Amino acid sequence: MNKYVVMVSLAALLTACGEKVEQAAAPAEAPKAAVQAQQAAPTAEAAAPAVDKAALAEEAKAAVQALGGTLKGELEAAMKAGGPVDAMGICHTKAPEIAKAVSAEKGMEVSRVSLKNRNPVMGQANEWQTAVLNDFETKKAAGEDPATLAYAEVVDNEFRFMKAIPTAAVCLKCHGTELSPAVSAKLTELYPNDKATGYQEGDLRGAFVVVKNLTQ
Ligand code: HEC
């Protein structure tokens, strides 16, 4: 379905280009050609002809690194200062704030999602994200290194990027199978519908998501 849309749009784009070349051979017609090109624009819009997917992917990776790096720094500092229970409280308030700040700074919406989410709103994967997460799981099961799994696509005038987040040993204190009673109690208090436990090192914890609206 998506491929079909891209193909149709591409055809429109190619037609538009072909028109331009033809008109360029007759200089007197140039202004008319410009008008025609403008009129053709709304039809060709879906193709977002100027999209440089590779450049956007680089931008998205930088945004992911900014979010991931900041979260990691905050988490480590909080764990050192007060252990996992305090760190949980800090994650609870700071993680969404950090995601917002990085999104504003990078001009792209950056977040984290999971098939088994803890944050009931922001952590919940939508349909498209669920499909990509399932694909990551399949690839991981086939032997691919989860640290290298990423996917980018342009859908509905949006550039979308996802990068898998593997579970490290340090994550198990709050996402593992054997949580301390204090951590469990804090989780029940802050996230009564938490699904994000039971992980083992190397499992896919979720993914970073980056979205950029291409019509703005
Ligand atoms: C101190 C406890 C703690 C540790 C350690 C921890 N997390 Fe979390 N994690 C949380 C909390 C709390 C949230 C929910 C934050 C929110 O409300 O946005 C969360 C949310 C997430 C999310 C967002 C998706 C979701 O489930 O809502 C991902 C992805 C994630 N953690 C990955 C990791 C990874 C990877 C590590 C190890 C590098 C890790 N976490 C270590 C407490 C922790």
Evaluated on CA atoms 130, 135, 138, 140, the torsion sign reads: negative
pLDDT at 90: 86
Provide the percentage of residues in the chain whose pLDDT is more than 90. 74
Indicate which residue's Cα is closest to atom 30 of ligand 1: 205
Indicate which residue's Cα is closest to atom 21 of ligand 1: 118
How many whole angstroms from 31 Cα to the centroid of ligand 1? 57
Which tens digits make up the pLDDT trace of 160-188? 999 999 999 999 999 999 999 999 999 99
pLDDT at 89: 87
Structure tokens at 4: 């079909």
Judge whether residue 199 has pLDDT over 60.
yes
Which tens digits make up the pLDDT trace of 116-137? 999 999 999 999 999 999 999 9
Q: Taking residues 139-158, what's their average pLDDT?
A: 96
Strands 204-213 vs 150-155: parallel, antiparallel or unpaired: unpaired
171 lines ligand 1 (CB under 6 A): yes
Asked if residues 140 and 198 have their Cβ atoms less than 8 Å apart, the reply is no
Indicate which residue's Cα is closest to atom 14 of ligand 1: 119
Indicate which residue's Cα is closest to atom 38 of ligand 1: 171
How many whole angstroms from 197 Cα to the centroid of ligand 1? 10
For the CA of 112, the closest atom of ligand 1 is: 23
pLDDT at 42: 45
Residue with the larger pLDDT of the pair 47 and 138: 138
The mean of the pLDDT values for the chain is: 83
Judge whether residue 26 has pLDDT over 70.
no
163 lines ligand 1 (CB under 6 A): no
90 lines ligand 1 (CB under 6 A): no
pLDDT at 206: 98
Query: Which residue among 115, 174, 191, 194 is best mutated to probe the pocket of ligand 1, counting the most ligand atoms within 8 A of its Cβ?
Result: 174
Which tens digits make up the pLDDT trace of 34-88? 334 344 444 444 554 578 999 999 999 999 999 999 999 999 999 999 999 999 9
**What separation in angstroms does the CA of 200 have from each of 138, 164, 178?**
17, 15, 10
114 lines ligand 1 (CB under 6 A): yes
The long-range contacts involving 117-120, CB below 8 angstroms and separated by at least 24 positions, are: 117/195, 117/196, 117/206, 118/175, 118/191, 118/194, 118/195, 118/196, 119/95, 119/191, 120/191, 120/193
Judge whether residue 8 has pLDDT over 70.
no
Judge whether residue 3 has pLDDT over 60.
no
Question: d(Cα 125, Cα 131) in Å, to the nearest integer?
Answer: 9
Query: Which residue among 93, 162, 205 is best mutated to probe the pocket of ligand 1, counting the most ligand atoms within 8 A of its Cβ?
Result: 205
207 lines ligand 1 (CB under 6 A): no
Judge whether residue 20 has pLDDT over 50.
no
Q: Where are the domains of the chain?
A: 2-47, 53-213
pLDDT at 49: 57
Question: Cα 104 to chain center, whole Å?
Answer: 15
Residue with the larger pLDDT of the pair 129 and 9: 129
Asked if residues 112 and 211 have their Cβ atoms less than 8 Å apart, the reply is no
